Amino acid sequence: MKIEQIYTGCLAQGAYYITSNGEAAIIDPLREIQPYLDRLKRDKVKLKYIFETHFHADFVSGHVDLSKKTAAPIVYGPTAKPEFDAIIATDGQEFNIGNITIQALHTPGHTMESVTYLLIDENGKKHAIFSGDTLFIGDVGRPDLAQKAAHMTQEQLAATLYHSLRDKIMTLPDDVIVYPAHGAGSACGKNMSKETVSTIGNQKATNYALRANMTETEFIKEVTDGLLPPPAYFGMNVAMNKQGYESFESVLNHGMKAIEAKDFEAVAEDSGALILDTRKNTDFAKGFIPQSINIGIEGDFAPWVGALIANVKQPIILVTEIDQEEETVTRLSRVGFDNIIGHLKGGFKAWEEAGFEIDTINRIPAEQFAHEVKIGESKIIDVRKESEYAAEHVQEAYSKPLAYINDWIKDINPQENFYLHCAGGYRSMIAASILQARGFRNFTEIEGGFNAIAKTTVPKTDFVCQSKTLNN
C-alpha cells in the first residue's frame, strides 16, 4: 500500500493518490489531470475509483475529466446529486482497492453530502481518514457555505458537524492518521495549521473544536464566531463541480493563444476582457499596460483572482513573464476562470518595444515614507488582514483589507492624498492597480510594505501575538 499526499501550496489543497496491488484511487484531484495519468502509467496500476469528499467551493476538481480519460467511476457521499454519472455511496459502504478497503463515513456539516473516507489496510486495521473539509489540522470546516443549498442556518449546519465529528471521527482509534483536504491559507476554515498531516489522538489534544466535554452550544458558538464572508467565486465553483465543465485541454488551448501587441488593445476592448498582469509587483510598478490589474503569479495568485474578480465567466486576457503563460492558465482554471481569451505575445517587453502607452504606479521606499509621513495628519491605508493590523500597525493608519476593496473603494475621496501599504508589497500593488484602473491617482504605494516600515522610525502600535487575534 502506498499513500501520496499531493499538496498544492497556492491553493492550500491536498489531493491523495493511493495504490495497492495493481489498483489505485485518487481523492479530490486537481483540475489538470495529466500528472495523475502519468503516475498511473509509471506505477502500472489501474485507477479503480475517484473519490470526492464533497462539492468543493474553493477549486474545480479534476474528477469529470479524470473519469472520462480512465473510465473510473466518481464516488460521492450520501445526498449528493451531481449532474453526471456517479456512485452515491451509502453511509458505511466499502470499496476495495487492491488489498485495502475504503469505507465512506457520512459526515455532514460543512456540506450535507460531505463524507470522510476511512482507509482500512490489508491487515484489517483502521489506518487513515481522508477528512475533506470536515476535519482540518487545528480546525474544522466552516458551516456557513452550504446554507442556501441545505435550507439550513449556519448554526444548524454547525450542530450537524458537531455530531459528525463526535459520532463518526472522534470514536476512531487515536493512531488513525488524518489527511485533510486543506491547510493554512484556505478560506474553508479560519484557524488551520500549517501542518498537513496529523492523527486523531493529536487532534483531540490540540484542536479547539474537538475538546473533551465540549457542549454542542459551545461548539456552535466557537465554530461560527469570526467567520469572514466567503469569496464570491465559491458558489460558481460548487456549480462547476456539480454540473461539469469544459475540459482543461480546451481551456489551455484558448489561453495559449498568442496575441500580437498591435492587436492586443482591440482584442481586449472587443471582448470586454480584463487585462490581468501576473508579473512581480516590483516589475509592474515600473510600467504596465493602462487599466491592467496586477496579481502576481508568485503569490497567493488563484485565491486572490477568485476573491477580487469573483465572476468566473469574466473574459480575461493575460500579460505574463515569458514561458509562464501555461502555468498562469492552469492556475486560473483551478478556480474556474476558464474564459481566457489569450495572452500578450512577447510579454510586456513586446508592448514596450512597440511604443504603446505605458502607465506606472507611484511607489516609494519605506525610508522616504518615514521622512514624509506626518502621523495624525497624513492618511495611511493598511490593506493587510484584520488580524495582521490588530497585531501591529502604523499609528493612525486605517484598516482597509484588500479582500473588501470593492466595498471601501467607493469611500475614497479622489481629492485626498493617502499612503497605501500591505505586509510586503504584493497585496498593496494589487490594490494600487485596482485603484488606478478605476481612476484614482491620489495615492503613494510603499515598497516593501509594513515589513520595511517596521525597520524605520515611523511610530507603530505595540505588537500583539497574532494567535490572539486570529478570529478578529
List pLDDT tens digits, range 224-250.
998 888 888 999 999 999 999 999 999
Q: Which residue has the higher pLDDT, 191 or 449?
A: 449
β-strands 2-8, 13-20 pairing: antiparallel
Residues near 445 by beta carbon (within 8 Å), at least 6 away in sequence: 285, 361, 362, 363, 364, 419, 420, 421, 425, 428, 429, 431, 432
- Summarize pLDDT for 364-373 with one digit per residue, the tens: 999 999 999 9
User: Using 50, 70 and 90 to split pLDDT, how confident is the model at 193?
Assistant: confident
Q: What is the C-alpha separation between 216 and 160, in angstroms, rounded?
A: 9
Q: Render pLDDT for 81-125 as a digit per residue (tens, 0 to 9).
A: 999 999 999 999 999 999 999 999 999 999 999 999 999 999 999
With H, G, I as helix, E, B as strand and everything else as coil, classify residue 320: coil
> Please, what's the b/e burial string for 201-211 (b: 16 or more CB within 10 A of its CB; e: otherwise)?
ebbeeebebbe
Grid coordinates representing 285?
Answer: 510598478
What pLDDT is recorded for position 366? 98
Joined together, the cell numbers standing for residue 97 give 482497492
Q: Any idea what DSSP says for residue 249?
A: H
Give which of 213, 211, 227, 109 is closest to 162, Cα–Cα: 109
Helix (H) or strand (E) holding 268: helix 261-271
pLDDT given for residue 466 in this prediction: 52
Pair type for strands 258-259 and 340-344: parallel
| Cα three-residue angle 346-348-349, rounded to 5 degrees | 70
8 Å CB contact between 345 and 260: yes
For every residue of 368-386, DSSP letters joined together read HHHHH--TTTS-EEE-S-H
Q: Name 5's Cβ contacts closer than 8 Å, sequence gap at least 6.
A: 14, 15, 16, 179, 196, 197
What one-character DSSP code corresponds to residue 197? -
Residue range 395-403: mean pLDDT, rounded: 96
pLDDT digits (tens, 9 = 90+) for 202-215: 999 999 999 999 99
**Residue 465 confidence (pLDDT):** 62
Q: How many CA atoms lie within 13 A of 89 on its CB side?
A: 27
Please, which residues bridge with residue 444 across strands? Answer: 419
Range 301-307 average pLDDT: 91
Residue-level pLDDT at 399: 97
Cα separation, 294 vs 35, whole angstroms: 29
Nearest to 248 by CA among 181, 326, 342: 326
Which H or E run contains 25?
strand 23-27
Q: How confident is the model at residue 472 (pLDDT cuts 50, 70, 90)?
A: very low
* CB-facing half-sphere around the CA of 293: CA atoms within 13 A: 17
Pairing verdict, β 380-382 and 398-399: parallel
170 pLDDT more than 80: yes
